[in-house]
Amino acid sequence: MDSLETTASAPDGAAVPAADIARLRAFNRFLTARVGALDPGHLDSPWSLTEVRAFHELLHRGRSETSDLRRAMDIDAGQLSRVLARLESAGLVVRAPSPADGRKNTVELTPAGARAAALMDARADAKIGGLLAPLTPGERARLTGALAAVRELLAPDRPAGAPAPVLRPLGPGDLGWVLDRHGALYAQEYGWGADYEALVAKIVADFAAGHDPERERGWIAELDGERVGSVFCTRADEETAQLRLLLLEPAARGHGLGRRLVEECMDFARAAGYRRMKLWTQSCLTAARSIYSRAGFTLRESRPHRDFGDGLVAEVWDREL
């Protein structure tokens, strides 16, 4: 019977306690029950959870190669084929050879399928909104931070034994850390002085003095329990969010944390109802500019200046959400 006490090994070779496995399985049962994942008709519809997931992917991705859709949904090719066949027979999707490569197939929603997918997305939002509505803004921040930790720790591409990058909402002392590290790091790497630190101090002070937690938020990236990065989403106007104060410590670069910080900021802005996002950066920040470009931002404006150093070019980037 002792062999049943543990069923897996951790990266350091130690056995994973059966109690830890049981807790995660219990949480999985709790969550699937709360969101109705096992209901025969998901979200009071005639479609299964897998079919609704296909709706969601196609609604937000547009026409896709079936191989890309399979990877996004992480399901067996045969299962996806059966799902698409059912949806196609109902007139909700259409499949065709890829115009880029005739050996591959594409799939996209029909007009009826797009209406069904939008309805399912709205019902899913309402379902989750109902779960979150009783929580205070602080409780929602705590929950979203915990969910971010789950995603980071259980990411399928995380190397075994690697330190787990974690994104979490702001906590006590974080605003002071953001100001301190921006001032020190940009002085060290670019020679920017007190004028830049004063700009960061004003942004941090304005955020601390009166941000709207429903539409403005900040995150801290941690690696091995140490703060290594930050990003903020603030309101530029009712329809435009602004990404601010992206920072990543040199020792934390190469883990994809910069990309994850930007994606977290964009996801929040989208969920908060903004239609677009903009940011202000400098032409010399090549690593950050690369992240912005890969995230779909486009350079819109640039101007030379000497606000906190010689030879600087300020840039405004934006994208639709």
Tell me phi and psi for residue 83, to 5 degrees.
-60, -50
Q: Which of 108, 118, 101, 143 has its CA nearest to residue 52?
A: 118
Helix H or strand E encompassing 32: helix 18-35
In angstroms, rounded to a whole number, what is the distance separating the alpha carbons of residues 77 and 137? 41
Task: Classify residue 311 by its DSSP letter.
Answer: T
pLDDT digits over 270-315, tens only? 988 999 999 999 999 999 999 999 899 999 999 999 888 888 999 9
In angstroms, rounded to a whole number, what is the distance separating the alpha carbons of residues 320 and 293? 13
SS3 at position 314: strand
21: tokens are 């496995």
106 by Cβ neighbours in 10 Å (0-12 / 13-18 / 19+) ranks as buried
Contact 82, 70 (CB under 8 A): no
Torsion from C-alpha of 240, 241, 245, 249, nearest 10 degrees: -120
Q: How many CA atoms lie within 13 A of 161 on its CB side?
A: 6
- Which residues, 6+ apart, have CB-to-CB distance to 32 below 8 Å? 38
Q: What is the pLDDT of residue 161?
A: 60
CA angle, 241 then 242 then 245, to 5°: 145
Task: Classify residue 14 by its DSSP letter.
Answer: P
pLDDT digits over 200-209, tens only? 999 999 999 9
Q: List the strands of the sheet with 93-97, edge to edge.
A: 64-65, 105-109, 93-97
Write down the pTM of the prediction. 0.57
Q: What is the pLDDT along the chain (321 residues), one digit of tens a residue?
A: 344 344 565 555 568 888 888 888 998 899 888 888 888 888 899 999 999 999 999 998 889 999 989 988 989 999 999 999 999 999 999 999 988 777 889 999 999 999 999 999 999 999 999 998 998 877 887 787 778 778 777 777 666 666 667 888 898 899 999 999 999 999 998 999 899 999 999 999 999 998 998 899 999 998 878 899 999 999 999 999 999 999 999 888 877 888 889 999 999 999 889 999 999 999 999 999 999 998 999 999 999 998 888 889 999 999 998
Q: Which of 217, 273, 272, 274 has its CA nearest to residue 244?
A: 217
